Amino acid sequence: MDVSWTLGDLVAQAAAAIASLPAPANGQIRAVPDERTIRYYGTIGLLDRPSAMRGRTALYDRKHLAQVVAIKRLQTAGRSLAEIQALWRTLDDQSLSRMAGIEIKGRGVRPEFWKQTPAPGPASRPLGRDAELRIDLTPGVSLSIALTGDPALSAADLRALRAAAAPLVAELARRGLTAQTQETP
């Protein structure tokens, strides 16, 4: 059976998980979100709807905890909520789990994705022979892949690539290696 927490319990679990993170350098964000902040995350689409209700009490699970921890990790790395919202659309449960360091159950990316030859279709876009595919993952971070032959990638393939790269983006941001957080010598 999966865990179920009230909003207050979720705040406490998030505080424990976030305790190991460095304190935000920007004094405008809270190191640990309170109940009001977590409700706001739900309002702007960063937090899924409660997994269940007990009367009028909303119940949350490990995925909600992973979402809160990932948001705070990205904010600590200097990301705005708008940037996080843009990244959120590309994440699957597996990527979110790795980014937050919280184990959650989910579908993850398609198995054997990297071994499959993309099938051309109406949503596919041929790239031409020996092309370079550049995917902008977040501001300041792009993924470049050299492709040989005559591949065609669908919008779903591009979303899967972005989701697979999400942990890399989070690690680059955490280390201050993205364009917006990188210090000039």
Of residues 60 and 88, more confidence is placed in 60
Of residues 42 and 31, more confidence is placed in 42
- Number of domains within the chain: 1
Please indicate, yes or no, if residue 117 is contained in any of the structural domains. Answer: no
Please indicate, yes or no, if residue 53 is contained in any of the structural domains. Answer: yes
Please indicate, yes or no, if residue 129 is contained in any of the structural domains. Answer: no
Please indicate, yes or no, if residue 78 is contained in any of the structural domains. Answer: yes
Range(s) of the domain holding residue 71: 7-110
- Could you write out the three-class secondary structure of the chain? CCCCECHHHHHHHHHHHHCCCCCCCCCCCCCCCCHHHHHHHHHCCCCCCCCEEECCEEEECHHHHHHHHHHHHHHHCCCCHHHHHHHHCCCCHHHHHHHHCCCCCCCCCCCCHHHCCCCCCCCCEECCCCEEEEEEEECCEEEEEEECCCCEECHHHHHHHHHHHHHHHHHHHHCCCCCCCCCCC
Give residue 76's pLDDT band: very low, low, confident or very high (50, 70, 90).
confident
Please indicate, yes or no, if residue 38 is contained in any of the structural domains. Answer: yes
CATH of the domain at 17: 1.10.1660
Q: What is the mean pLDDT of the chain?
A: 74
Please give the average per-residue pLDDT across 118-140, as a whole number: 53
Please indicate, yes or no, if residue 89 is contained in any of the structural domains. Answer: yes
Low-confidence winner among 50-54, 76-80, 181-185 (lowest mean pLDDT): 181-185
Please indicate, yes or no, if residue 144 is contained in any of the structural domains. Answer: no
